[in-house]
């Protein structure tokens, strides 16, 4: 193998991909019935308080469920629901939600959109004046090749 990192990356990818392929979305639909109260029966939440899960990548949903169950992510509402789920249950639920069609949003809060645009404009302006990122945003510049700003 050329690189131990590449080997590790491939091993991890296979470890997550193979079990995910065996997930049963139909079983996930049954297992996710309790989830529908907050996240919507088809994964489209009616409340901005709860995230929509429709069309989320299955690995993302699985990872979040594992984090809730294993205590790496705390949410008092979620913990009782995930406490007794097995890894296979979570894979099935993730497969179910991944197969759902997301509904269009109800429209964004104009103040939040404006704030986001302001951040984008400021970030773009900062990048344009930064000698390190100008035209080289995807490369890593070595200290010897960068310009010192005083």
CA 20 – CA 11 distance, rounded (Å)? 14
In a domain, 5, yes or no: no
Tokens 């097995």 found at? 86
Q: Which helix (H) or strand (E) holds 146?
A: none
Same domain, 18 and 89: yes
Same domain, 92 and 115: no
Q: Each residue of 92-106: pLDDT tens digit?
A: 999 999 999 999 876
The residue range of the domain holding 123 is 110-145
Same domain, 90 and 26: yes
Q: How many domains does the chain have?
A: 2
Same domain, 38 and 93: yes
Q: What angle do CA 43, 12, 85 make, to 5 degrees?
A: 40
Per-residue pLDDT of the chain (150 residues; tens, 9 = 90+): 467 776 666 666 655 555 545 899 999 999 999 999 999 999 999 998 999 999 999 999 999 999 999 999 999 999 999 999 999 999 999 999 999 999 987 656 677 777 777 877 777 777 677 666 555 544 444 444 444 454
In a domain, 124, yes or no: yes
One-letter-per-residue 3-state SS of 80-91: HHHCCCCHHHHH
Q: What is the pLDDT of residue 145?
A: 44
Same domain, 25 and 81: yes
CB 43 within 8 A of CB 103: no
Structural tokens at position 52: 């929509």
Q: What is the pLDDT of residue 113?
A: 72
């Amino acid at each position: 193998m050329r690189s131990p990192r590449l080997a590790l990356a491939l091993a991890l990818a296979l470890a997550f991909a193979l079990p995910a392929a065996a997930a049963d979305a139909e079983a996930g639909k049954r297992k996710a019935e309790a989830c529908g109260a907050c996240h919507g029966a088809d994964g489209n939440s009616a409340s901005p308080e709860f995230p929509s899960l429709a069309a989320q990548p299955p690995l993302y949903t699985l990872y979040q469920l594992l984090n809730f169950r294993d205590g790496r992510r705390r949410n008092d509402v979620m913990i009782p629901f995930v406490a007794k789920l097995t890894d296979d249950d979570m894979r099935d639920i993730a497969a179910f939600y991944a197969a759902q069609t997301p509904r269009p949003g109800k429209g964004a809060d104009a103040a939040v959109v404006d704030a986001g645009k302001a951040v984008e404009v400021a970030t773009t302006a900062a990048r344009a004046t930064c000698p390190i990122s100008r035209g080289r945003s995807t490369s890593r510049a070595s200290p010897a090749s960068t310009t010192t700003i005083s």
